[in-house]
Amino acid sequence: MRFFFSSRQFKVILCVTLCLIALSAVCIAIGGRMSPQSDVLGTIAAPFRAAGEKISTSVSDFISAFTEGNEAQLKNAELESEINELREQLKDYEKALSENEFYKDYLEIKDANPDFMFEAATLISRDNQDPYKGFTVNKGSVNGISENDPVITDAGLVGFISEVGLTTSKVSTVLSPDVVMGALDNRTSDSGVLSGSLELAQNGETKLYNLSRSCNVAVGDYVVTSGEGIFPSGLLIGTIQTIGSDEYNTSIYAAVKPFVNIDEIRAVMVITDFEGQGALGE
């Protein structure tokens, strides 16, 4: 083995390792960019990942069709081919309808916030090692996406873009402690700070803390963004599940269940531009 440590192979591996460590340091210092080797390989692998996700979705749909039962398919064997034909048409219709609904919902958000600029993106990979359920989408800097852009669905806020590559970007979800933003109780306008914690992320919840002891928040209230931080104001976040007092009894906090089911996200919208973006983000 000692021959290995004096070999050319060892020197090459050592050089590569040192270069990668230096690269990591540079990436951390710059922030918000993927490391170059990951960016290149991620760009090459992105179409395959997208295909893999499509296969995964199709298999899940196929399995759920079986488990939920499809009576029409089994009832009439004579009309099977006709049913299949109609089903094909229905599938196209439903796809068009759901796409329509998808864009209509965003259109409503767009109507309410004319300053928002959207970029539609599809989930291509999940980070299974991330307890906060981060994921990767198929759009990057070439599509105008930049670090800290808010990510939403028609149901509400998902998170923000934490790292940008050329054609892919990583999303940190509202469950993550990396997300720190101002939030309001929509009913009482009581304000606090919203951020994730591992303890609550296990239940798919995040934490609204620093609420005044005299506030009137209640279980079931909607929580929206206040506009402080990197997010525009008025985006739906979730509902208050439980309310508690902090360890020093100086303020109270609320566990918030996001409206968005992060496990079932397939497509998102990235807000690439809005009025006041970057004003308080830095």
Partner 1 sequence: MLAKKRHPVIFTVNILLFFAVILFGGNSIIDISIKNATPLLLLPMLTAFSIFNSVKSSAAAGFISGALLDSTSSGTYCFNTIFLMVLSVSVSLAANNLFNKNIRAAAALSLITSFIYYIIYWLIFMTFGVEIQNSLIYLLEYGLPSAVYSAVFIFPFYFLYKCFSKIKGTN
Question: Helix (H) and strand (E) counts for the chain?
Answer: 6, 12
Six token digits for residue 268: 């998102």
Q: Is 4 in the site for partner 1 (CB under 8 A)?
A: yes
What mask of x and - would describe binding to partner 1 in positions 151 to 180, judged by CB under 8 A?
-----------xx-x--x-x-x---xxx--
Q: Is 45 in the site for partner 1 (CB under 8 A)?
A: yes
Angle between the 8-30 and 36-68 helix axes, to the nearest 10 degrees?
Answer: 80
3-class SS at 162?
strand
Give the footprint of partner 1 on residues 203-262 (CB under 8 A).
none
In whole angstroms, give the CA distance from residue 217 to residue 272: 32
Q: Could you tell me how many residues of this chain bind partner 1 (CB under 8 A)?
A: 54
CB of 168 to partner 1, least distance (A): 7
Residues 6+ apart with CB under 8 A from 135: 123, 125, 126, 127, 170, 171, 173, 262, 265
In whole angstroms, give the CA distance from residue 170 to residue 243: 31
- Using the minimum distance from each CB to partner 1, give the nearer residue, 35 or 146: 35
- Using the minimum distance from each CB to partner 1, give the nearer residue, 42 or 238: 42
Q: Which residues bind partner 1 (CB under 8 A)?
A: 1, 4, 9, 13, 16-17, 20-21, 23-24, 27-28, 34-35, 37-42, 45, 48-49, 52-53, 55-56, 59-60, 125-132, 134-136, 162-163, 165, 168, 170, 172, 176-178, 197-199, 202, 263
